Structure 1
Amino acid sequence: MHDFRSKRCSSTQNPSSRRTGCACWRISLDAREALGIIASGKTLSRAEAEAAMGSVMAGEATAAQLGALLAALHVRGETADEIAGFASAMRANALRVVVDDGAIDVVGTGGDRSNSINISTISALVVAGAGGHVAKHGNRAASSQCGSADVLEALGVRIDLGPDGVAQCVREVGVGFMFAPRFHPAMRHAGPVRREIGIRTVFNVLGPLANPAGVRRYLLGVPSVALGATIAAALVELGAERALVVHGTDGLDEISPSADTRTWEVSSGSVREGHLAPEDLGLRRAERIEITGGDPATNATAARAVLDGTHGGARTAVLMNAAAALWVAGLAGSVKEGVAIVTRAIDGGAARDALARFAATSQRIGAAEGARA
């Protein structure tokens, strides 16, 4: 990848920390037992984490046990093995969506409290307009006024399609949306506890990794540098084919148009750290205020402006993120080459058309699903 100033990470995995080797070795462990391991000062192996989360998904953990487990993990900080194990259990309990091997998710974990426009969601539409396939997994707002589900709904997209409908959208339009509550019914056992304890938990970072389509390519934004290396290592554990984990040094969980961005490139089972800046891609640095968002109507207006070709900081942000996604998807030889491709997709109207087709197709499929219900 020619656009990064890179260095090899000293380590992406710690095999000695995995007492059971791989997650395919199934073990029995419930939330209370997992809490006991953590309370003793140890970390969970991937298999132990998967078993513990499996018991949560089955409704076997009490509210007290789950709350204590989430709080203990929050205080100590989750390891890559633990995150990978939890994500594996969530994937196993999700409704499955079948998409092609080259599909990608363009997503942020949220939690950066930037109240920015929906950069990842707009970028996903641009990637679809440029010929990519995006299986986007998302939800309503967490730390902002407008999540991916909120803005897509405001743009006329039907967000509650089932597995077959989402797969059809990806095939026909190049983008489909999986509304997290629809695809993770087992999360009903954890939802009330998450709301009651009122702190950021591991579930906030698990959403992107628990993509029901099982995508193996990601552009994934995180809200802190510390989380970047951990998520990249978890992606290695989960068998990601290619991914780029990003964190804007201005705090953005996207590639930032207004600051340098830290990157963790996942490929061939290893992680390479680097940096990316607007100037590296021939773009002007923007002011942070240019990507400030608001409610769903405000963010939908901003999305349409970018797709209509309006210049400014929002366009720069989308160009950078969509270009990186194309590179991850293997549709551009470098991120800089990706910028040229997505610029043509926007200015030629293909990105705008992708939104129009997505809205029409999702509404048609949604009506048909409703008639069959």
Structure 2
Amino acid sequence: MNKSFTEILEKISMHDHLTDHEASLAMKLILHGDISDEEIAAFLLGMRMKGETVVELTSFVQEMRSVAVPVEVDTKHAVDLCGTGGDKSGTFNISTTAMFIVAGAGVPVLKHGNRSVSSKSGSYDVLELLGAVPNLQKKQVEELFNKTGMAFMFAPNFHPAMKYVMPARRALKMRTFFNILGPLVNPANVKCQVIGAFNKETAKKMIQILGNLHTENAYTVNAHDGLDEVSTTSQSEIFELKTHLSGDSVTFDPISLGYEKTDHNSLLGGDAKQNAQILMNVLEGKSTKAQRDIAELNALFAIRASNITDDLEEAKEMAVRSIDSGEAGKKLDQFIKESQAIAAG
């Protein structure tokens, strides 16, 4: 017999974990608009206070994927690189910058993103300011990817059921498990990912969820300085998924790949305009060394995750060449022009 949503709320209020069936039912009811804003807020808060399990989160991801608008393209070697957000770091848009370095290295990119939620400037905001059209629908995204080997999928266009959750998330004004789910529900169902997490525990949960969902290659990372990226200011904890899940994280030091340590202030961004300028400077070889290094470092992990190479040193060479040859900058130009043309019809 199905438990009602009220019974599920009762259960989590007692700090009892949900079964996979209960978690799926709760998410299904929410995503079909059957639950009030107040009940959704209670559910989000209750889950946060209790602590979400990998079983629960895997079920939530499966339900969200089942109602998403699918992007139907060839995903071989295609990679998504994004973070959970919520690290409150104030850095420039590192993964958005890295996206073009990765594409310039010949690796397909299917990036899933949003407007800013917790930062001054989300990936959507920066791409829009650069002149690209990030607000594309399914067929347009498929066309853009098939033409350029790159796509940006604006989350609200592919997860329309999330409209039922937004009022509760806005009212709570705090991080909820949806910060964890966002990077796990790529509409193209990519098999290669790099995901930055706001703490090590979340990075560990996310790699386990990806393992449950038949992802082929993935890294989840959390830096010791708190960044949801691979950092150049500190060491980072990195979990890796290949054909099987490696047990615990590996502590990665950027010095091992020849990167100098820097300080947090050297990575700070600002609003979308400032961040767009930093992105262009990196791709044009005009940025500071610290800005280039962290974008390049995150790009090389994405190149490695794509499985085009299984060697981090070779992935670094590909990232360096992408910038120095101008290919990364050309990919940005191509992305802007093609997205404009497709949006104009």
* Shorter-chain TM band: over 0.9
Q: Which region of structure 1 is more displaced relative to structure 2, 270-279 or 239-248?
A: 270-279
Contact 1:232/1:271, CA 8 A, preserved across alignment? no
Offset, 1:47: 3.3
Offset, 1:54: 1.1
Q: Can you list the C-alpha shifts for 1:203-243, whole angstroms capped at 9, x where unaligned?
A: 11111111111112110000111211111111111221110
Contact 1:31/1:53, CA 8 A, preserved across alignment? no
Q: Structure 2 vs 1, CA of residues 346 and 29 (structure 1 numbering), >3 Å: closer, same or farther?
A: farther
Q: Structure 2 vs 1, CA of residues 107 and 42 (structure 1 numbering), >3 Å: closer, same or farther?
A: same
Counterpart-to-counterpart distance in 2, 1:166 and 1:142: 23
Counterpart-to-counterpart distance in 1, 2:8 and 2:120: 35
Offset, 1:42: 2.3
Aligned twin of 2:11: 37
Aligned twin of 1:364: 341
Q: Structure 2 vs 1, CA of residues 29 and 238 (structure 1 numbering), >3 Å: closer, same or farther?
A: farther
Contact 1:107/1:120, CA 8 A, preserved across alignment? yes
Aligned twin of 1:327: 304
Contact 2:15/2:50, CA 8 A, preserved across alignment? no
Alignment-mate amino acid for residue 58 of structure 1: H
Aligned twin of 2:280: 304
Offset, 1:40: 3.7
Offset, 1:129: 0.9
What root-mean-square deviation, in Å, do the aligned CA atoms of Structure 1 and Structure 2 show? 1.4
Counterpart-to-counterpart distance in 2, 1:334 and 1:157: 33
Contact 1:34/1:52, CA 8 A, preserved across alignment? yes
Q: Can you list the C-alpha shifts for 1:253-290, whole angstroms capped at 9, x where unaligned?
A: 00001110100101223234202121111121222211
SS in 2 for 1:256: coil
Aligned twin of 1:220: 195
Aligned twin of 1:4: none
Offset, 1:336: 2.1
Counterpart-to-counterpart distance in 2, 1:312 and 1:28: 57
Aligned counterpart for 1:129 among listed residues 97, 101, 104: 104
Aligned twin of 2:182: 207
Aligned counterpart for 1:82 among listed residues 56, 63, 72: 56
Q: Which region of structure 1 is more displaced relative to structure 2, 306-315 or 263-272?
A: 263-272
Aligned counterpart for 2:261 among listed residues 256, 263, 285: 285
Aligned twin of 2:225: 250
Aligned twin of 1:315: 292
Counterpart-to-counterpart distance in 2, 1:128 and 1:172: 13
SS in 2 for 1:271: coil
Q: Which region of structure 1 is more displaced relative to structure 2, 317-326 or 92-101?
A: 92-101
Q: Structure 2 vs 1, CA of residues 30 and 221 (structure 1 numbering), >3 Å: closer, same or farther?
A: farther
Counterpart-to-counterpart distance in 1, 2:202 and 2:189: 21
Counterpart-to-counterpart distance in 2, 1:78 and 1:287: 33
SS in 1 for 2:285: coil
SS in 2 for 1:247: strand
SS in 1 for 2:240: strand
Matches within 5 A, 1:137-286: 137-272=112-247, 273-286=249-262
Counterpart-to-counterpart distance in 2, 1:31 and 1:160: 34
Counterpart-to-counterpart distance in 2, 1:33 and 1:123: 45
Counterpart-to-counterpart distance in 1, 2:72 and 2:290: 35
Counterpart-to-counterpart distance in 1, 2:8 and 2:313: 45
Alignment-mate amino acid for residue 51 of structure 1: L
Figure out how many residues of one structure are paired with residues of the other and give that number: 342
Q: Which region of structure 1 is more displaced relative to structure 2, 291-300 or 167-176?
A: 167-176
Contact 1:32/1:61, CA 8 A, preserved across alignment? no
Alignment-mate amino acid for residue 318 of structure 1: A
SS in 1 for 2:246: strand
Counterpart-to-counterpart distance in 2, 1:300 and 1:30: 47
Contact 2:199/2:222, CA 8 A, preserved across alignment? yes
Contact 2:180/2:202, CA 8 A, preserved across alignment? no
Normalized against structure 2, the TM-score is what? 0.96
Alignment-mate amino acid for residue 32 of structure 2: A
Counterpart-to-counterpart distance in 2, 1:249 and 1:172: 39
Contact 2:75/2:188, CA 8 A, preserved across alignment? no
Offset, 1:30: 5.0
Aligned counterpart for 2:324 among listed residues 323, 332, 347: 347
Counterpart-to-counterpart distance in 1, 2:24 and 2:99: 30
Aligned twin of 1:70: 44
Q: Structure 2 vs 1, CA of residues 31 and 153 (structure 1 numbering), >3 Å: closer, same or farther?
A: farther
Counterpart-to-counterpart distance in 2, 1:252 and 1:166: 29
Offset, 1:29: 5.2
2:22 counterpart of 1:48: yes
Identity of aligned residues (%): 36
Aligned twin of 1:294: 270
2:76 counterpart of 1:99: no
2:68 counterpart of 1:113: no
Q: Can you list the C-alpha shifts for 1:21-67, whole angstroms capped at 9, x where unaligned?
A: xxxxxx95553332233234321233332221111010011122111
